[in-house]
Homo-oligomer: A and B are copies of this chain.
Amino acid sequence: MTYAPPVEEQKFLLRHVVGMAELATSDAFAEATPETVDAIVEGAGAFAAGEFAPLNRIGDEVGARWDDGKVTMPAGFREAYRAYVEGGWGTIAGPAAFGGQGLPLSLASVVMEDLGSANMGFSLCMMLTPAAVEALKHHGTGAQQEMWLPKLVTGEWTGTMNLTEPQAGSDVGALKTRAEPAADGSYRIRGQKIFITFGEHDLADNIVHLVLARLPDAPGGTKGISLFIVPKVLPDGTPNDLRCVSIEHKLGIHASPTCVMSYGDNGGATGWLIGAENAGMRAMFTMMNNARLNVGLQGVSIAERAMQQAIDYARERVQGSRAGQPARIIEHPDVRRMLLRMKALTQAARALAYYCAGQTDRASLGDAAAQARADLLTPLVKAYGTDVGVEVSSLALQVHGGMGYIEETGAAQHYRDSRISPIYEGTNGIQAADLVGRKLGLEGGQVFARLVADIRADAQERGEEGLKDLADDILSLGQGLAGARGDDALAASYPFLTMVSVATAGWLMARQARAAEQAEGDPRFLAMKRTAARYYLDRIVPEALGLKAHVTGGADLLYSVDEDMLSA
């Protein structure tokens, strides 16, 4: 039930997948010395394990409680959050001009992974604030940045994203919340938002809501959406006209209050426009790209935590025999199969997420190709990472047998917690649509082609036939989808996303296997790395090849029945 941060693995990935040493040669990331990086990786793991992990159970069992508009976190959460702020764990990738350390996002990703493993529900609070920081950093005025960023960067205040309304989920453009200009340059916000993560809580002195709303006479759909800062407490210290009217009763992440927020019940909440009028979607995507990377990482977090628990259980539970002697279940082949699968999937999803974060860091140094690759990979990180989180937590539960189904064991909580991540921050279906609808066509398909060429070259060099076949397949399938009818491309999108994700993750596993052959370090870790890579390349890559028929099959079969037939 404890969490052992995978420090060795995280350092290895920062070195060989992110290329931290290369990043540190830039002026911007000169502070990311090996000593600093190691200290942060080790410190974050120790902090998450020591302060956050012990609160995971009470977070689930007691959860956030709503009473008359106020949300109270379980015992211990306020203290743990204060320790997070005081330790500066939120400041790592924050802008240096406003109290941040200006270190690479890939390093902050390690911290996020640790927090998510230790306490997934709680970690959402730490995830959303940096997304708000990003939006303000890129789209806020200088005065807005000075007003809001310093305390958001430290975490003294927390941030939220207010997008969803009952009729506007995946279809953000359908939102109805209104913003009317006031004489003083501010706006009066009126409307109801749902599914607002940490929309209300007792951890911080202020909550800075970033709210999407429509100006009067704004165009319909996504072209008429603007983004507003709507703080819980106004700069003059008075409460804003907003209220958490209820929180949801959810399958998991009980420590994360999912709020229904009502704005302007008493005349209008005060807000300030961020960026230009009707340009809210652009600012929102700044937040969302950051959040999508972090949600993908959440899949890694919960997979790691669930897997650790399953391995510990399998090492202790005696059942059956081998060679005439009582055996612990870790000795049985089919349990080994599950553990190896969990290990390979978790490492692969982590490599994909860290690699994408590293590309984002390169992009921040002005590398346009890296930005394009990060854009391409973001939907993969989000969807594949969260699918891995669900699959691994299910396997971990299965390893426990009947005990896995008993809540006290803890495996069931991971299974429940993990299931939200394929849904929020854009369902995985939306990610797949983003891949085939936008990302595949970036630069006329060249961004995708370059990625596949990189995969193919390494596969060829390493003699990885399965990976080479998969690279060839996704290239021709991708070219086919680029010219396909919209429905055919969308019908193919999810299985295609899985194939591209496995190819990319398989490539990163092959590169790690090579690094592990040459690297010095803990021989146990290096042996495990080589075996996980082998398992992924030899057994999971071929599964992805089996998805090809979905991609080539087209949409006609899906529409060969009408809705009444589906219900028949």
Report yes or no: B419 in contact with A415, Cβ–Cβ below 8 A: yes
A6–chain B nearest beta-carbon distance, Å: 9
10 contacts between A and B (CB under 8 A): A167-B318, A249-B406, A251-B415, A311-B567, A402-B423, A405-B420, A466-B549, A527-B560, A527-B565, A528-B565
Whether A408 contacts B249 by the Cβ 8 Å rule is yes
A195-B402, A402-B169, A428-B398 given as contacts; is B250 within 8 A of A490 (CB)?
A: no
Contact residues of A between 308 and 327, Cβ < 8 Å to B: 308, 311-312, 315, 318-321
Q: Is A285 engaged at the interface, CB distance under 8 Å to the other chain?
A: no
Oligomer copy total:
2
Residue of B nearest to A430 (CB): B334
Do A542 and B531 have beta carbons less than 8 Å apart?
A: no
Cβ contact within 8 Å between B555 and A336: yes
Q: Are A491 and B334 in contact (CB under 8 A)?
A: yes
Q: Say if the beta carbon of A265 comes within 8 Å of chain B.
A: no
Task: Flag the segment in A31-39, A503-511, A532-540 that touches B.
Answer: A532-540
Q: Is A332 an interface residue (CB 8 A)?
A: yes
Whether A568 contacts B525 by the Cβ 8 Å rule is yes
In the complex, whether A339 has a CB less than 8 A from a CB of chain B is yes
Report if A548-B542 is in contact (Cβ < 8 Å); known contacts: A398-B428, A564-B524: yes
Partner of A565, one of B171, B398, B427, B524: B524
The interface residues of chain B lying within 8 Å CB-to-CB of A544 are: 546
Q: A251-B406, A546-B546 are in contact. List 8 more A-B contacts (CB 8 A).
A: A174-B319, A252-B405, A333-B487, A334-B433, A337-B550, A397-B419, A415-B419, A525-B565
- Decide: B249 and A407 in contact? CB cutoff 8 A: yes
- The answer to whether B319 touches A170, judged by C-beta atoms less than 8 angstroms apart, is yes
In whole Å, how far is A556's beta carbon from the nearest beta carbon of chain B?
10
Q: Could you say which residues of chain B place their CB within 8 Å of the CB of A337?
A: 491, 494, 550, 558
Number of interface residues, chain A, beta carbon within 8 A: 98
B407 with A427: CB separation less than 8 A: no
- Of A195, A252, A428, A429, chain B has the most CB atoms within 10 Å of the CB of A429
Interface bits A492-526 vs B (CB < 8 Å: 1, else 0): 01100000000000000000000000000010110
Q: In terms of DSSP, what is the predominant structure of the interface of chain A?
A: helix
- Contacts A546-B544, A561-B527 known; A320 to B170 CB distance under 8 Å? yes
Chain B residues whose CB sits within 8 angstroms of the CB of A539 once the complex forms: 549-550, 553
Please name all residues of chain B whose beta carbon is closer than 8 Å to the beta carbon of A534 when the two chains form the complex: 557, 560
Decide if A557 touches B340 in the complex (CB within 8 Å). Answer: yes
> Which of B308, B547, B568 has a CB less than 8 Å from the CB of A528?
B568
A405 adjacent to B419 (CB under 8 Å): yes
User: At the interface, yes or no: A545 with Cβ under 8 Å from chain B?
Assistant: yes
A140 within 8 A of B: no
- What is the distance, in angstroms, from A394's C-beta to the closest C-beta of chain B? 7
- Given A330-B566, A534-B557, also A423-B401 (CB < 8 A): yes
